[in-house]
Homo-oligomer: A and B are copies of this chain.
Amino acid sequence: MPGRVESLDLRVRSRALGRSWGPRHGNTMAQLDSEVKEECLREDLKFYFMNPCEKYRARHQIPWKLGLQILKILMVTTQLVRFGLGNQLVVAFKEDNTVAFKHLFLKDYSGTDEDDYSCSIYTQEDAYESIFFAISQYHRLKNISLATLDYGENEDNRIGLKVCKQHYKRETRLSSNETLNIDSDIEIDCVLLDLPTLSESSQAWKQSAFFRLEFYRLLQVEISFHLKGIDLQTIHSRELPDCYVFQNTIIFDNKAHSGKIKIYFDSKANIEECRALNISGSTQKNTQYVLVFDAFVILICLASLVLCTRSIVLALRLRKRFLDFFLEKYNRRVCDTGRWEFVSGWFVLVIISDLMTIVGSILKMEIKAKTLTNYDLCSILLGTSTLFVWVGVIRYLGYFQAYNVLILTMQASLPKVLRFCACAGMIYLGYTFCGWIVLGPYHEKSAVLHHVE
């Protein structure tokens, strides 16, 4: 089996390179010169298609490139793991804060969200209580919260809660007892409750006309407020802490008018410069070491990039020589497969991966220096480049005979598998649409199916 696949591989390659090694006739001077040239080209081609081990055996050429790639795999993976661990802390901090807010501001919050909303209420009394609970918790925040929080300023630079309610306009005509008069236009009423208002004794604000809700035309109530927080964890790793502004919004959603108000809690966390903060003590900056490491990664990738580009340039030159020779000698053009045989897909992969790592590392350094915050782009670049680097390891496995057979077999069977998937995909798509509409949202079974899944 291996033998057969390998011979197949050789046949493909030889066919691609044309039948240039046929018997030679004639022995004039020009032919002799041509023969020398041909022999030289043959040698170069042979050497070009060797793998590093064979090259070392043939010309004692030390495989710098191979060594560099192995070093790169180690460096890039280390960098990625360090970056990921750092991000994990940040994400955990944000998520923990959101969970803590939900416990503080939502009445009877169970600890887990229902579907996509946090909790739901079913009676008018619960609706009033939930709204007043959130507002009074905001007022008492500093006495109850365990986090280092401070009130933040609204968009209009005032400290306080903004409560907005959205409802259908009431008809101007007198509504008779029997008829429901609804204007399909939507009105928005807002009120700003600042801290002094809330502190007033006897809680006069609860009695205001604003908080007399007419549920039959109410669409939603939105309570929004800003809080300032600080992530002190980074002090342990001797870095400066990040300051956050949390834009919290509690939405009581009655759009469906189905007797169930869904409560959504949304918390957006933005990183801001920490102004009012003094960190003293033995805080040494060890950021330098990280920056040096990143710079080293960039250097290695640059070297790899240069070497691979050089390889491709050399390969293209060799191809030109070969094509010219072939045209001259046999007066025929080499077929396309033969032309592409010269440009190694692996080199292209390595070059793309290197470029991504370099850009990603530069972004990472900027983020570290707190001048940039687009973690998203950086993580996509670094992640994808690491994926490519690891996939590239397969190439080095291909240098071993036994693995090469495996890889060629997989390459040959891939299109068939993809084709099968395309066919199955069509049927699956059709079935999905059909199942969704026939079994799905309309029949009551849907709920059952949903739970089963």
Contact = CB atoms under 8 A, between A and B. Distances in A.
A146 B260 contact: yes
Contacts of A121: 146
A387 to B, nearest CB: 4
Contacts of A148: 180, 215-216, 257
Given A281-B184, A383-B434, A101 B146 contact: no
Contacts of A281: 169, 183-185
A278 B441 contact: no
Nearest to A415: B402
Given A95-B447, A96-B258, A433-B383, A276 B180 contact: yes
B383 A254 contact: no
Contacts of A394: 423, 426-427
Given A104-B123, A146-B127, A438 B280 contact: no
Given A184-B282, A281-B183, A391-B426, A259 B407 contact: no
Interface string A254-295: 111111110000000000000011111111000000000000
Contact of A184 (B149, B283, B383): B283
Contacts of A422: 397, 403
A125 interface: yes
A88 interface: yes
Contacts of A233: 255-257
Interface in A80-121: 80-81, 83-84, 87-88, 90-93, 95-97, 99-101, 103-104, 121
A359 interface: no
A70 interface: no
B397 A235 contact: no
Contact of A437 (B80, B90, B427, B431): B80
Given A422-B397, A441-B87, A442-B376, A146 B261 contact: yes
Contacts of A222: none
Given A257-B232, A260-B100, A433-B80, A397 B383 contact: no
Most buried by B among A99, A145, A148, A447: A148
A309 interface: no
A124 B145 CA distance: 6
Interface string A424-453: 001101110111111011111011000000
Contacts of A83: 437
A307 interface: no
Given A180-B276, A280-B184, A407-B423, A438 B260 contact: no
Contacts of A100: 122, 258-260
Nearest to A85: B441
Nearest to A103: B122
Given A181-B278, A390-B430, A147 B259 contact: yes
A21 interface: no
A407 B430 CA distance: 17
A389 to B, nearest CB: 7
A24 interface: no
Given A384-B434, A387-B433, 17 more contacts: A92-B256, A93-B258, A104-B123, A124-B143, A145-B259, A146-B215, A146-B254, A146-B259, A147-B258, A148-B180, A149-B259, A178-B276, A184-B235, A184-B281, A383-B438, A388-B430, A402-B419
